[in-house]
Amino acid sequence: MLQTPYYLIDETRLLENMRVMDAVRQKSGAKVLLALKCFAAWSVFDLMAGHMDGTTSSSLYEVRLGRQKFGGETHAYSVAFADHEIAEVVSHADKIIFNSVSQLTRFEAESASIARGLRLNPGVSTSSFDLADPARPFSRLGEWDTTRVEAVLDKISGFMIHNNCENGDFSRFDAMLAQIEAKFGHLFERVDWVSLGGGIHFTGADYPVEAFCRRLKDFAARYGVQVYLEPGDAAITRTTTLEVTVLDRLFNGRELAIVDSSVEAHMLDLLIYRESARILPNSGPHEVMICGKSCLAGDVFGTFSFPQPLEIGDRISIQDAAGYTMVKKNWFNGVTMPAIAVKRLGGHVEVVRDFSYDDYEQSLS
């Protein structure tokens, strides 16, 4: 048995999501790019690259990783590029998407050799968290004034809009896209491509993929554009667990278990969005609060039910550990960094990366 903690990526599960990518590409005509800010564990990129068209990015390092480790079509986006980055960004990218008219104008000469786009902000979104809402008041994410955008149309060939967030409701997506068309449709007619961003949960179990694909295909035909999707979470959902071991048991009015991991260090988004982790099957008479080993008082994965009493040495699999998880892990408290293991299609588990004291030491100076 491998030493815990480790993230375990299951390629068989990943392939199930990739088959949905294939179906969407084929039925809708859309191109599908992996959003690296959600998931950048490149050991499984070879598998994914057979089913997705490329990557999109939010920084110089991501666009470089996408070009070097994934291949295919590589899009560069950033909230703001720096002067010293732009030449290298352009060297790695097929398209560059600017967040503002100001950045587009500033880097017009440097980006002339590749296709350019501009991010639009439609002012509507599905996020229930202000923190993650691209359409929040005073949002810096994209241009919304069509007059300002029209003035630079000759410099760009497409647009990117990202305003969905874990949206599994097709009718909501459909209605929002109609609002976007009402606002920007006259601009879409004058470009070659439109990216509708990520946040659409089309790999969900009951998602109406056929209707979704028809909607995208009609949209593409109406404006004469190539549609792109930029799935992050939808590409890797349900593929990965964080494997941990119980180190201690306490009873402080409630049954507690401490594991060899930390929410703050290894699944930070749960803390940021105040959500509980997920454990399966989460049923049985023994209720235990699963806690991390950092010093943070609120370092708690959640309270779960188990069929038997939990013992020191027992292993637990924490679900949904792929998206916004490995990309955010950190060295808080010097907690041992989870290794990354891949369960290959044939069934054998391969440790593709492990971390040592040296990595911890090298992370600072």
Alpha carbon distance 183, 185 (integer Å): 6
Options 53, 230, 243, 260; binder of ligand PLP; rule CB under 6 A: 230
Phi, psi angles (nearest 5°) of residue 34? -75, 130
Alpha carbon distance 273, 132 (integer Å): 9
Options 9, 38, 268, 316; binder of ligand PLP; rule CB under 6 A: 38
- For the record, the structure tokens of 287 come out as 């209720």
* Residue 41 CB contacts under 8 Å (≥ 6 apart), including other chains: 7, 9, 322, 326, 340
The interface region with ligand PLP, picked from 31-39, 78-86, 108-116, 309-317 by CB under 6 A, is: 31-39
Binding mask 72-91 for ligand PLP (x = CB under 6 A): -----x--------------
User: Taking the CB of residue 43, how many other CB atoms lie within 10 A of it?
Assistant: 17
* Residue 35 engages ligand PLP in binding (rule: CB under 6 A): yes
How many residues contact ligand PLP, by CB under 6 A? 15
Options 21, 196, 234, 277; binder of ligand PLP; rule CB under 6 A: 234
* Residue 117 engages ligand PLP in binding (rule: CB under 6 A): no
Q: Supply the minimum distance, in Å, between the C-beta of residue 103 and ligand PLP.
A: 15
What residues numbered 184-203 form the site for ligand PLP, per CB under 6 A?
197-199
User: Taking the CB of residue 243, how many other CB atoms lie within 10 A of it?
Assistant: 23
* Residue 62 engages ligand PLP in binding (rule: CB under 6 A): no
Task: Select 134 or 292, whichever has its Cβ closest to ligand PLP.
Answer: 134
Alpha carbon distance 102, 118 (integer Å): 10
Q: How far from chain centre, in Å, is Cα 22?
A: 19
DSSP-assigned beta bridge partners for residue 241: 8
Alpha carbon distance 125, 79 (integer Å): 18
Using an 8 Å Cβ cutoff, are 117 and 156 in contact? yes
The interface region with ligand PLP, picked from 21-29, 33-41, 123-131, 332-340 by CB under 6 A, is: 33-41
Q: Supply the minimum distance, in Å, between the C-beta of residue 269 and ligand PLP.
A: 11
* Residue 231 engages ligand PLP in binding (rule: CB under 6 A): yes
- Which residues here bind ligand PLP, judged by CB under 6 A? 35, 37-38, 56, 77, 162, 165, 197-199, 230-234
